[in-house]
């Protein structure tokens, strides 16, 4: 009987693959259902042969689950967006110059769904993780197992023992329409678009309901130590053989014209697809070349996303609000007559700044042109003056802060107005607290609504006050139960172990993002050193210019900020660099300035940059008389080579460098580099 059950399972898995992945059904739906029912009957009669990966388990259990957070082995970074042919050409030329050798680009459709990471071991699906904040996401394995286009067991035997594959979970247009029709009949709130519906479905606590939503998937990126080929395109072709749903709308391009042909074709043809797309992704095909191009702090240099031209809608302007951000910037936001745009209902749109408002000559009641060109908040791009009838008041930028009444200021050469009352303006105070608790900062388990609640009640007036909030203070508040209180207190305690560089970022110093915070932490090993740093010391830090340096000085010149830091220190936050990290540092390259050029084989450029900094050296992008070494790989740029020789700068290769810092290939590997 075991053989019969296993044979039936294998047959149904093959039929599933043909139907959901290849779209080539070999039997009728009725015949398929009968085979599945027969398998269900046999498994019920012989529970000793239970298999969690059986096709019958796709329906999901109705047991409620809570999602646990899981660290990504490779961070899921986002792609840099482009919106014009010129930007695509710039990317192509940058890549050509950086590699200085022939290369191929893979063009793919950019599916508008929910990013997912799938982990396989020995050909079995082990875990499915959402993008989350890029560093860690939710474990949604139970829900993903219900998606029939995602294989639970792979075909063949030539797949790596352990690997990761990434892609998008999608809700097809047909399923989306049917779901919204059902919700309308039950007088439930409708989903705005398929992406929101897919995201909401994937986060449901009941996998049995998820299985009824008919989610789909496309996979587009393979990660692991023993991949079949150097080529991204070739790896995905092999993944298709293993049973993954890989888009056929994918091709290799060697010329810019081939890329433009692909974009032009799919800009129109995508409207006939069964799922939502919002652009094209371009990736360098070779993994070796990807490694040499490296990554920025937010995205890979070897890939970009080209976003299709935004759709436009026309609707009426009802009013304008002026919002104050955490750094004091005042932003005008238009309140519109609701209109459908790119699959979503738009009620608000950005008016950007005073200059754009004046250029638009916009009045209350005007019919406006609205676009959603890659922005979270849509933007007003024009006014239909022919439709203007009995115009209302002309929109003018406010002169005083709408929150505290302070006269607004504008820096020379800047388009934005800001409120200079940084430490007494409520939206700015609350904005800094919201930034402090955010995922990429201290990751404290409250959001904007709770920060607002705590502030209005008087529990918190700054970030340090969060650490003095007692469980008894909030247990009696609306929507706060014992579990919510416990989660908050736990996150407060966990935040005390957040790394020093993230604490610097969490402080909300204007102009200091994640990368700059890390640079400052690596130079000033404790907060006292940073607070007392001089302008000259600050601008000597890599990537820190005069604007950032002055911003840091101004921030710590404010007595209230120093007081907050001292309080955070007393609560036990990490305000110095970890001793283990410091112990690994050396002065081997102290005072030495490096320029890295060419393509490498043992490590990526980013890894070599990290090694240089770890050993006390400094990286620069251009060759000058101050440069001490050129770390040269293959195909070094001739201009840099010529200048280096003319200046008598020492040129070393990978092996020379590794001997200098006394590191072998196995000693150093930066995994914080993949999206």
Catalytic residues: 110
**Hey, what are 349's tokens?**
């749109």
Q: Alpha helix (H) ranges present in 192-325?
A: 194-202, 207-212, 232-242, 256-269, 287-293
What stretches of 273-420 adopt beta strand conformation (E)? Answer: 277-284, 303-307, 312-324, 330-341, 344-350, 367-371, 379-383
Cα three-residue angle 242-78-378, rounded to 5 degrees:
120
**Hey, what are 503's tokens?**
């604490």
Helix (H, G, I), strand (E, B) or coil at 499: coil
**Hey, what are 561's tokens?**
């900020």
Helix (H, G, I), strand (E, B) or coil at 111: strand
300: nearest Cα among 543, 87, 80: 80
Dist CA 4 CA 602 (whole Å): 51
Dist CA 95 CA 106 (whole Å): 13
**All residues at 6 or more sequence positions from 598 whose CB lies less than 8 Å from its CB, including other chains:** 100, 292, 632, 633, 634, 635, 636, 637
Q: Look up tokens 């604007």; give the residue.
A: 547
Dist CA 354 CA 352 (whole Å): 7
Judge whether 630 and 644 are in contact, CB under 8 Å. yes
At 397, phi and psi to the nearest 5?
Answer: -70, 140
Q: How far is CA 613 from CA 300, 321, 630, in A?
A: 20, 46, 15
Judge whether 539 and 549 are in contact, CB under 8 Å. yes
Dist CA 544 CA 525 (whole Å): 16
**Hey, what are 337's tokens?**
């007559």
Dist CA 112 CA 130 (whole Å): 15
Judge whether 137 and 129 are in contact, CB under 8 Å. yes
What stretches of 273-329 adopt beta strand conformation (E)? Answer: 277-284, 303-307, 312-324
Which residues share a beta bridge with 306?
82, 280
Sheet holding 80-82, edge to edge: 80-82, 303-307, 277-284, 105-111, 250-253
Largest CA-CA distance found in the chain, in angstroms, rounded: 83
Helix (H, G, I), strand (E, B) or coil at 397: coil
341: nearest Cα among 303, 301, 369, 307: 369
**Hey, what are 422's tokens?**
């940084």
What is the β-pairing status of strands 330-341 and 312-324? antiparallel
* Torsion 342-344-348-352 (CA) sign: negative
At 443, phi and psi to the nearest 5?
Answer: 55, 55
């Amino acid at each position: 009987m075991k053989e019969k059950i296993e044979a039936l399972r294998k047959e149904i898995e093959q039929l599933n693959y043909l139907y959901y992945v290849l779209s080539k059904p070999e039997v009728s739906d009725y015949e398929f259902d009968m085979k599945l029912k027969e398998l269900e009957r046999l498994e019920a009669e012989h529970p000793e042969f239970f298999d969690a990966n059986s096709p019958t388990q796709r329906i999901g259990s109705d047991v409620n689950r809570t999602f646990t957070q899981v660290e990504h082995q490779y961070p899921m970074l986002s792609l840099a967006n482009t919106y014009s042919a010129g930007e695509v050409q710039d990317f192509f030329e940058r890549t050509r110059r950086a590699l200085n050798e022939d290369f191929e680009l893979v063009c793919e459709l950019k599916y508008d769904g929910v990013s997912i990471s799938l982990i396989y071991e020995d050909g079995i699906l082990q875990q499915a993780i959402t993008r989350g904040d890029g560093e860690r996401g939710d474990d949604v394995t139970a829900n993903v197992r219900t998606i029939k286009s995602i294989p639970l067991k792979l075909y063949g035997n030539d797949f790596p023992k352990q690997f990761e594959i990434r892609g998008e979970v999608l809700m097809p247009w047909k399923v989306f329409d049917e779901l919204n029709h059902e919700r309308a009949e039950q007088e439930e709130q409708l989903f705005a678009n398929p992406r929101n519906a897919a995201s909401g479905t994937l986060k449901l606590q009941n996998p049995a309901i998820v299985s009824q939503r008919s989610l789909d998937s496309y996979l587009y990126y393979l990660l692991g130590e023993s991949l079949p080929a150097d080529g991204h395109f070739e790896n995905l072709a092999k993944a298709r053989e293993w049973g993954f749903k890989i888009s056929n709308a994918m091709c290799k391009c060697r010329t810019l014209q081939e890329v433009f042909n692909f974009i032009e074709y799919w800009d129109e043809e995508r409207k006939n697809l069964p799922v939502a797309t919002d652009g094209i992704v371009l990736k360098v095909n070779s993994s070796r070349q990807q490694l040499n191009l490296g990554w920025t702090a937010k995205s890979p240099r070897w890939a970009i996303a080209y976003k299709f031209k935004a759709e436009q809608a026309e609707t009426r302007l009802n009013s304008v609000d002026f919002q104050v951000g955490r750094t004091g910037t005042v932003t005008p936001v238009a309140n519109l007559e609701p209109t459908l745009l790119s699959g979503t209902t738009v009620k608000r749109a950005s008016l950007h700044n005073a200059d754009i408002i004046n250029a638009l000559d916009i009045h209350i009641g005007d019919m406006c042109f609205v676009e959603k060109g890659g922005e979270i908040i849509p933007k007003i791009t024009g006014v239909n003056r022919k439709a203007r009838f009995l115009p209302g008041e002309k929109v003018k930028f406010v002169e005083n802060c709408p929150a505290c009444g302070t006269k607004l200021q504008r820096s020379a050469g800047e388009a934005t107005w800001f409120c200079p009352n940084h430490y007494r303006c409520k939206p700015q105070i609350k904005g800094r607290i919201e930034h402090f608790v955010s995922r990429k900062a201290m990751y404290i388990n409250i959001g904007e609504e709770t920060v607002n609640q705590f502030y209005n009640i008087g529990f918190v007036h700054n970030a340090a006050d969060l650490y003095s909030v007692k469980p008894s203070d909030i247990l009696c508040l609306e929507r706060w139960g014992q579990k919510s209180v416990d989660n908050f207190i736990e996150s407060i305690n966990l935040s005390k172990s957040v790394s020093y560089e993230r604490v610097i970022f969490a402080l909300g110093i204007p102009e200091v993002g994640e990368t700059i915070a890390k640079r400052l932490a690596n130079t000033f090993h404790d907060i006292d050193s940073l607070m007392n740093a001089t302008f000259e010391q600050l601008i000597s830090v890599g990537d820190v210019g005069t604007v950032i340096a002055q911003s840091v000085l101004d921030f710590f010149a404010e007595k209230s900020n120093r007081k907050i830091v001292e309080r955070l220190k007393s609560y036990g936050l990490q305000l110095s660099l970890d001793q283990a990290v410091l112990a690994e540092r050396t002065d081997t390259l102290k005072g030495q300035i490096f320029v890295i050029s060419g393509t490498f084989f043992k490590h990526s450029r980013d890894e070599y940059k990290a090694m240089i900094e770890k050993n006390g050296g400094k990286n620069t992008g251009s060759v000058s008389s101050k440069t001490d070494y050129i770390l040269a790989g293959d195909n070094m740029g001739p201009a840099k080579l010529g200048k280096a020789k003319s200046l008598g700068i020492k040129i070393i290769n990978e092996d020379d460098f590794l001997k200098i810092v006394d590191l072998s290939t196995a000693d150093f590997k930066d995994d914080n580099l993949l999206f």
